Amino acid sequence: MYDVWKNALAEIEQQISSANYSTWFQDTSLISTKDGNVRVNVKNTFYIKQLQNRYYDIIKKALENNNIQVNSLTFEVQATTKHRVRPREIIRNSTSISNHLDDIRSNLKPRNISNSQPTSDTGLNPKYTLDTFIVGSNNDLAFSAAKSIIDSPGTRYNPFFLYGGPGLGKTHLVQAIGNELIKRNPNYRIFYTPISHFYSDFIDSIQNGKGKEFNRKFQKLDCLIIDDFQLIVNKEKSQEEFFNIFNDLYQLNKQIIVTSDRLPNQIKTVDERLASRLTWAGAFDLQLPKFEDKCAILRAKAEQIGADIEPEAIEYIAENVNTNIRDLEGEFSTILLMSEVRGLTPLELIQNGSVNVNRTSKLRPISPKQIIDKVAKYYNLSTTELKSKSRVANIMLARQVAMYLLSKELNLSTNKVALEVNVKDHTTVMHGIKKIDNNLKLNFNLRDQIEDIKEHLYG
Amino acid sequence: MKIKVTQEKLSKALNTISRIAIGKATLPILNNVLIRVSDKKVSLITTNLDMAVLDYLPVSESEDGVITVPAKLLAEFVSNLPKGDNVEISSKDTKVTIKSGKYSSVINGTIADDFPEIPEINEEKSVVYKIGVDEFKNSVNQVIIASSNDLTRPALTGVFFNTYDHTLAIAATDGYRLAEKKIIDKVESEVKAIVPSSSLQEVLRSISDDVDEIEISFNDDLVRFRFGDIEIVSKLIDESFPEYQKLIPKNNNISVTLNREELIRVTKLAALFARSVGGSIVCEAITPDIFSVKSIANEFGENDSRIETTVEQSGKINLNSRFLLDALNALEEPEIKFEFSDRVAPVVLTNQKSDKYTHIVMPLNS
């Protein structure tokens, strides 16, 4: 059909002036010739009358010369460009971008949920479910423990202590446990509260002379979930109250769930007795998701909101966001929003450089000296001691940690590292790094130390 | 063909209509103005095939006929004639004679057969709105700043006229900001049409001070603006406009009321330092009573200005200073509302009292 029109145009061009031809016939096309009803697409309304009144016969003849039967000839205006359907379809199919932004936003700020929208007196937000929790190698242990708690609360994993950095899904997982428990047994008495609210409620109750009632309220519970335990304050009275409630519930085999961003013995304000009790049944950590897990999370998110996003775009985001899941979902929704507003697909946005996703925890560039200083300080040594030839155990450990960090964080060559920490040659460095690497797999204590040092470095 | 008319009236009409005929059109006749006299009605018409401008010229004497004359030449000749005199234009074949007192000239015209026919609004099927000229001009100016000139996205190169909840609103967006103005309440007919920004600009330029009301009629693929003696007919952009209402955030948890002049001043100050970073400035609400506008240019230094106001919740947002200034200049009241929720969602700017105008600006990546 296209060729027919091209031939017809060539014929028309012969018959009229080139100015007229380029004005009236450029950007025309043939829509259909069905049953001799020929329809021609023109640029806009201004062209219709002119073609109809002045060029009708010429066009008709040109088409007939190309063996097209012309019973009627009409001119129509169709969309000037092909619609870029994809990014807009996202919006039409799902409810709306601002709605799902709201969704994401409330997911992002779980801490506000218990006071902003207490769905019931449990303090739980029904939005958090196990189905939406993406399981990967970074969190599968914690997840299976959670499932076991749902099957038999108050037994094996009691207390359930969950820890990990911000935005990795602690609140999601523990609220999902709560919601699932209630689903299975609606009479189950459950209470979720961030530790800070626990305090303010406790202080209020004392001020109103209702301290005993407060205590009784908690003792009636079947399951207590405490979020953000690291914010526990160093107030003896409140901590003792918490300790008592903890003990009472524990004696009665009631499930206790606690989340925190680090282990209890690393929280300075926590009383030792309490710290050790919290990890009686072990501590489960949520780690940064691996690349594949991040892709899985984004794919699930895309499916959930009905967005159509290219696999390459998902991989790009997954690769470039290395902080936490909250940021990952944040970047994802930003890109979807931009994609709607600018009318480009997410991948096009990324390719033309409109989005700059690069979130790593390594915000500031650091120098070898900073690493050595921080490591020395962490182990209570002077830098001279660290760089000395001493073979005292703790100095050696510090030196090896420094070598490890210099190599892993700054990608220094082993020769360079040898110079920095003043050891004999690169084989010593290689040995040191290997030793730390091996120890890391077994020694949780060492792993925490190194995480701690990194936190100091970048924090 | 013959007409007789005062120099002022003719000159004004020719100036208005000749703007779109001074173009780079490949078809020479598009540089001409069509003068048509029939039944003592005189119309001057120009078109660029995206729009057409018609002026119905009241004349004292006339003889029927039709001719086209190079628009720019005629307009310049007439505007240089002495004011207050009568001008007589007559044609014989394609020779057009213009006479005024002692001055006279003959211009070679072209027969009107080749002049494109101007599409007409189908009055019965059209949807018609009427609005005061001042309100119309202000509103279009408030909105058109947000329209795009990116020709690869035609839908955004226009202003979207649409009705919802019995209100006629106009809106434009370039993907980075969006402006909406509700212009007529309680409308009964519905419309959804994108009018090219260039056509609207021509309408704005053509409205003279002595006109009070403008009539806007929409057909399937045409819009006509009628005011005073002038009619402007334009194509519509045959695309779908983004469903923009969904892009306007509804529940912003941070809302501050600010003095508009003061915010303009601090934004300008911050913009000076923001030049080297693409105009990026940081607006921050700090409880209980500070709104701060900051910018940092590594080479030049930095700026931090503060405005006192009531702040209930803290938060900050990165914005392009030029977009913010455009929005602030489009707002009217002395006090305005500045609302946002977090760095992903756009900021919403409105007048404090009237809710007719809404301007949203996307945040920059921090």
Domain containing A48 — which CATH number? 3.30.300.180
- Residue B234 included in any domain: yes
Candidates A44, A53, A96; nearest CB to B221: A44
* pLDDT of residue B23 exceeding 80: no
- Residue A160 included in any domain: yes
- Residue A98 included in any domain: no
Query: Whole-angstrom Cα distance, residue B59 to residue B36?
Result: 12
- Residue B327 included in any domain: yes
Q: Which residues in chain A (13-32) have CB-CB distances under 8 A to chain B?
A: 19-20, 22-23
Query: Same domain, yes or no, for B222 and B256?
Result: no
Last residue of a domain, one of B246, B264, B284: B246
pTM to 2 decimal places: 0.55
Query: What CATH number is given to the structural domain containing B14?
Result: 3.10.150.10
Is A53's CB within 8 Å of B243's CB? no
The pLDDT-based confidence of A119 (bands split at 50, 70, 90) is very low
Query: Same domain, yes or no, for B312 and B259?
Result: yes
- Closest CA of chain B from A324, distance in Å: 17
- Residue B235 included in any domain: yes
The pLDDT-based confidence of A96 (bands split at 50, 70, 90) is very low
Task: Look up the ipTM and state it.
Answer: 0.74
Chain A residue with minimum CA distance to B247: A98
Name the residue range of residue B357's domain: 248-361
Query: What CATH number is given to the structural domain containing A201?
Result: 3.40.50.300
Chain B residue with minimum CA distance to A356: B365
Query: Same domain, yes or no, for B150 and B252?
Result: no
Question: Radius of gyration over alpha carbons of chain A, in Å?
Answer: 34
Q: What is the pLDDT, as a whole number, of residue B157?
A: 93
- Residue A115 included in any domain: no
Q: What is the pLDDT, as a whole number, of residue A101?
A: 43
Mean pLDDT of A166-178: 87
* pLDDT of residue A94 exceeding 70: no
- Residue B366 included in any domain: no
Please state the domain count of chain A. Answer: 3
**Tokens 């002026």 label which residue?**
B55
Is B27's CB within 8 Å of A19's CB? yes
Last residue of a domain, one of B91, B114, B137: B114
Is B49's CB within 8 Å of A23's CB? yes
Chain A residue with minimum CA distance to B365: A356
pLDDT tens digits, B272-328: 888 777 788 889 998 888 999 988 877 778 888 889 898 888 888 889 999 999 999
Query: Whole-angstrom Cα distance, residue B284 to residue B279?
Result: 16
* pLDDT of residue A342 exceeding 80: no
Query: Whole-angstrom Cα distance, residue B65 to residue B42?
Result: 10
* pLDDT of residue A283 exceeding 80: yes
- Spatial neighbors of B136 by CB under 8 A, at least 6 apart, are B183, B207, B214
pLDDT tens digits, B161-212: 999 999 999 999 988 899 999 999 988 889 999 999 999 999 999 998 889 9
- Tell me the helix, strand and coil percentages in chain A, rounded to 5: 60, 10, 30
- Residue B62 included in any domain: yes
Candidates B47, B249, B342; nearest CB to A98: B249
- B contacts of A341 (beta carbons < 8 Å): 173, 175-176, 242, 247, 362
Of the listed ranges A103-107, A285-289, B186-190, B349-353, the least confidently predicted one is A103-107
Q: What is the pLDDT, as a whole number, of residue A111?
A: 33
Does B344 contact chain A (CB < 8 Å)? yes
Q: What is the pLDDT, as a whole number, of residue B260?
A: 94
Per-residue b or e along B204-239, where b marks 16 or more CB atoms closer than 10 Å to that residue's CB: eebbeeeeeebebbbbebbbbbbbbbbbbbbbbbbb
Of the listed ranges A68-72, A336-340, A358-362, the least confidently predicted one is A358-362
The pLDDT-based confidence of A42 (bands split at 50, 70, 90) is confident
Of the listed ranges A35-44, A141-150, A274-283, B40-49, the least confidently predicted one is A274-283
Query: Same domain, yes or no, for A156 and A47?
Result: no
* pLDDT of residue A45 exceeding 70: yes
Query: Same domain, yes or no, for A23 and A150?
Result: no
Query: Same domain, yes or no, for B230 and B335?
Result: no
Query: Same domain, yes or no, for B312 and B354?
Result: yes
Kindly give the residue spans of alpha helices, DSSP state H, lying in A210-310.
211-219, 236-251, 272-278, 291-305
Does A115 contact chain B (CB < 8 Å)? no
- A contacts of B235 (beta carbons < 8 Å): 44-46, 77
- Residue A87 included in any domain: no
Is B116's CB within 8 Å of A50's CB? yes
Is A98's CB within 8 Å of B173's CB? no
Tell the burial category of B151 from Cβ atoms under 10 Å away from its Cβ (0-12, 13-18, 19+): exposed
- Residue B304 included in any domain: yes
- Residue B130 included in any domain: yes
- Residue A389 included in any domain: yes
Is A333's CB within 8 Å of B344's CB? yes
Q: What is the pLDDT, as a whole number, of residue A459?
A: 63
Query: Same domain, yes or no, for B219 and B137?
Result: yes
- A contacts of B249 (beta carbons < 8 Å): 98, 101
Query: Same domain, yes or no, for A261 and A160?
Result: yes
Last residue of a domain, one of A286, A316, A348: A286
Sign of CA dihedral A201, A206, A209, A215: positive
Query: Same domain, yes or no, for B213 and B284?
Result: no
- Residue B210 included in any domain: yes
Give the 3-state DSSP-derived string for chain B, with helices as H, strands as E and coil as C.
Answer: CEEEEEHHHHHHHHHHHHHHHCCCCCCHHHHEEEEEEECCEEEEEEECCCEEEEEEECCCEEECEEEEEEHHHHHHHHHCCCCCCEEEEEEECCEEEEEECCEEEEEECECHHHCCCCCCCCHHHCEEEEEEHHHHHHHHHHHHCCCCCCCCCHHHHEEEEEEECCEEEEEEECCCEEEEEEEECCCCCCCEEEEEHHHHHHHHHHCCCCCCEEEEEECCCEEEEEECCEEEEEECECCCCCCHHHHCCCCCCEEEEEEHHHHHHHHHHHHHHHHHHCCEEEEEEECCCEEEEEEEECCCEEEEEEEECCCCCCEEEEEEHHHHHHHHHHCCCCEEEEEECCCCCCEEEEECCCCCEEEEECCCCC
- Closest CA of chain B from A344, distance in Å: 10
Is B117's CB within 8 Å of A49's CB? yes
Please state the domain count of chain B. Answer: 3
Which one-letter amino acid corresponds to residue A268?
K
Does B117 contact chain A (CB < 8 Å)? yes
**Tokens 């944040």 label which residue?**
A330
Does A119 contact chain B (CB < 8 Å)? no
Chain B residue with minimum CA distance to A94: B246
Query: Same domain, yes or no, for A151 and A60?
Result: no
- Residue A267 included in any domain: yes
Name the residue range of residue A189's domain: 139-286
Query: What CATH number is given to the structural domain containing A452?
Result: 1.10.1750.10
Task: Give how far Cα B309 sits from Cα of A148, B336, B363, Å.
Answer: 53, 12, 22
pLDDT tens digits, A60-78: 888 888 888 888 888 888 7
On whether the CB atoms of residues A68 and A38 are closer than 8 A, the answer is: yes
Last residue of a domain, one of A271, A286, A301: A286
Query: Same domain, yes or no, for B210 and B178?
Result: yes
Of the candidates B87, B141, B53, B345, the residue with the CA atom closest to the CA atom of residue A46: B53
Does B30 contact chain A (CB < 8 Å)? yes
Query: Same domain, yes or no, for B193 and B235?
Result: yes
Does B154 contact chain A (CB < 8 Å)? yes
Query: Same domain, yes or no, for B137 and B84?
Result: no
Query: Same domain, yes or no, for B173 and B261?
Result: no
* pLDDT of residue B247 exceeding 90: no
Mean pLDDT of B24-33: 83
pLDDT tens digits, A405-435: 888 888 888 888 888 888 888 888 988 888 8
Candidates A96, A97, A341; nearest CB to B362: A341
Of the candidates B252, B139, B237, B143, the residue with the CA atom closest to the CA atom of residue B196: B237
On whether the CB atoms of residues B37 and B105 are closer than 8 A, the answer is: no
**If you count residue pairs, one on A and one on B, with CB atoms under 8 Å apart, how many are there?**
99
- Output B273-279 pairs: Cβ under 8 A, ≥24 positions apart: B273/B297, B273/B300, B273/B301, B273/B302, B273/B303, B274/B321, B276/B300, B278/B320, B278/B364, B279/B320, B279/B321, B279/B322, B279/B323
CB atoms within 10 A of CB B186: 8
- A contacts of B222 (beta carbons < 8 Å): 45
Sign of CA dihedral B343, B346, B347, B348: negative
Last residue of a domain, one of B114, B134, B165: B114
- Residue A94 included in any domain: no
Helix (H) or strand (E) holding A190: strand A190-194
Query: Same domain, yes or no, for B195 and B218?
Result: yes
pLDDT tens digits, B74-118: 999 999 998 888 999 999 888 999 999 889 999 999 998 889 989
Candidates A44, A337, A343; nearest CB to B50: A44
Does B186 contact chain A (CB < 8 Å)? no
Q: What is the pLDDT, as a whole number, of residue A112?
A: 33
- Residue A326 included in any domain: no
Chain B residue with minimum CA distance to A339: B175
Query: Whole-angstrom Cα distance, residue A141 to residue A155?
Result: 17
Last residue of a domain, one of A28, A57, A77: A77
